[in-house]
Chains A and B, each alone.
Chain A
Amino acid sequence: MNSFTEYFRGIFSGIRSLLAGLSVTGKYFVKPGTTVTQQYPNNRKDLKMFDMFKGEVIMPHNEKNEHKCTGCGICEINCPNGSIEVISASIVSEEGKKQRIIDRHIYHLGMCTFCGLCVKTCPSQALAFGQEFEHAVFDRTKLTKVLNQPGSKIMKGVE
């Protein structure tokens, strides 16, 4: 007798648990506005990443085409996978002193793991993270970027 009642209790509690599950999916089926899908290429205009988002390493330039990089190479030393190469040159500054500047600050996006050590350790805050995330290209060599813009100079007062 005991097992008999257990048999039926099993059936009914089982059915109840199944109905509870159905109620959840049913609720979302009839409830409008719960869709969370973002339609990506269509919402490109109002898709804004967070300020902190690590999309790529950039070197901010001001409106006079000046950056803060002194070419010290600390970022290159700190990069764990060799995605930064600093090629420096030396010039004679206005005061007649020999000064080291960057010729090219090469950044291999394809090798970067976005650990943030270059940005963190840069003594003059010359590097930052950009929010661009659409990096797909057809040729891998295009992932190698030169961060300093052509003709740019070091900002005054940055040593």
Chain B
Amino acid sequence: MEFSIYDFSSFTAWIDSSLRASMSPGWAVAIEMILIGIAILTFYAIVGLFLVYAERKVCALMQNRLGPNRVGPGGMFQTVADLVKLLFVELVPIKNADRALFNLAPFVVIIASFMAIGAIPFAKGLHAVDLNIGVFYLMAISSMGVIGVLLAGWASNNKYSLIGAMRSGAQIVSYELSVGLALVTMVVLAGTMQLSEIIEGQRWGWFIFKGHIPAVIAFVIYIISGTAETNRGPFDLAEAESELTAGYHTEYSGIKFAFFFLAEYINMFIVAAIAATIFFGGWMPLHVFGWDGFNAVMDFIPPIVWFLTKTFFIVFLMMWLKWTFPRLRIDQLLTLEWKYLLPINIFNLLLMAFLVLTGLHW
């Protein structure tokens, strides 16, 4: 039994076979599920904390500041300290709040992002489920989070929260379209919805290169609408701190607030991971047809590193956008979607279909 950092499929297969050898298949699946759950949960916490730290550092550097620098080297453990603090913060009960929904909302948000992580291929074989409709599944799951936001806004018994939640609803209903259409454009190019096959299809050139202009347009639109879907600046109307103080999570405190906070960052990670998978080849290294030496060097870098580099690059792009632009107004947000992104998207889809039909792509 040998493990390779380049291919996790033998590793997962070994776990599976050794589990099945010692117990009934039903138990084996159950144990596997628990293992995956624990793995994802750990990953979730680590990535969440890291992204919060990264965001603080990135924005600090852009703003000529130092950012966190007291806890640990370079403030590395600042977010851990914050998390510990949040765990001990009192959970303030809200008068006349819908108690059940109020408590349910953070879990809905966090579970939605949790489920999406399961479908993301981190490296070859490192994949919880490889659905044959992976893209479709991700789109469906990632729009579930808004239910939690709406619940939070409604159940808080706070006017600011309600306005924030309604804004969030309008926003996600609109931008879900753009996310979908941008991904569909790429699905046309890939010819499949299975994520592992999409990545395999990018062995000789990532889709952003293969698809020429339509792929680039689709990428830009995806980043814009993906940012909007995660409720991040410049589309953070749902929390709009200068208008609605904190929007839908105004009344949340302590660990429940931390759930919303973490979910925002994980959602950002998910959006970036999908973009990396579909436009930049996921864990697939950069290959150029014919340059065998170059390709060998590229292959030497482990796929997980490729995947994380690409993802965090896109995360950085999103942070860059957030820390540069002012926020849009709600009607402009909808104008941008329905008058600009949607027509462009549909036209782009046609262009891509034309490209694929005529074989102009590589």
A contacts, CB < 8 Å to B: 11, 18, 21-22, 24-26, 28-29, 34-37, 39
The reply to whether B324 and A21 contact each other, CB–CB distance below 8 Å, is: yes
Inside 8 A of A22's CB, which chain B residues have their CB? 320-321, 324
A-B CB contact pairs (8 Å), 24 listed = A18-B324, A18-B325, A21-B324, A21-B325, A22-B320, A24-B324, A25-B323, A25-B324, A26-B320, A28-B62, A28-B63, A28-B64, A29-B58, A29-B61, A29-B62, A29-B320, A35-B64, A35-B66, A36-B64, A36-B65, A37-B64, A37-B66, A39-B66, A39-B69
At the interface, yes or no: B136 with Cβ under 8 Å from chain A? no
Inside 8 A of A26's CB, which chain B residues have their CB? 62, 320
Q: What is the distance, in angstroms, from B184's C-beta to the closest C-beta of chain A?
A: 22
Inside 8 A of B62's CB, which chain A residues have their CB? 25-26, 28-29
Q: Chain B interface secondary structure, helix, strand, loop or mixed?
A: loop
Q: What is the distance, in angstroms, from A86's C-beta to the closest C-beta of chain B?
A: 45
Closest to A32 in B: B61
Q: What is the distance, in angstroms, from B264's C-beta to the closest C-beta of chain A?
A: 21
Number of interface residues of B (CB under 8 A): 14
The reply to whether A37 and B320 contact each other, CB–CB distance below 8 Å, is: no
At the interface, yes or no: B354 with Cβ under 8 Å from chain A? no
Inside 8 A of A28's CB, which chain B residues have their CB? 61-64
10 further contact pairs, Cβ within 8 A, besides A22-B320, A25-B320, A26-B62: A21-B325, A28-B61, A28-B63, A29-B58, A29-B62, A29-B320, A35-B64, A35-B65, A35-B66, A39-B66
Provide the B298-333 mask, 1 if CB < 8 A to any CB of A, else 0: 000000000000000000000011011100000000
Inside 8 A of A37's CB, which chain B residues have their CB? 64-66
In the assembled complex, the Cα of A106 lies from the Cα of B321 at a distance in Å of 56
Interface residues of B in 47-61 (CB under 8 A from A): 58, 61
Q: What is the distance, in angstroms, from A23's C-beta to the closest C-beta of chain B?
A: 9
Closest to B234 in A: A18
Provide the B148-172 mask, 1 if CB < 8 A to any CB of A, else 0: 0000000000000000000000000
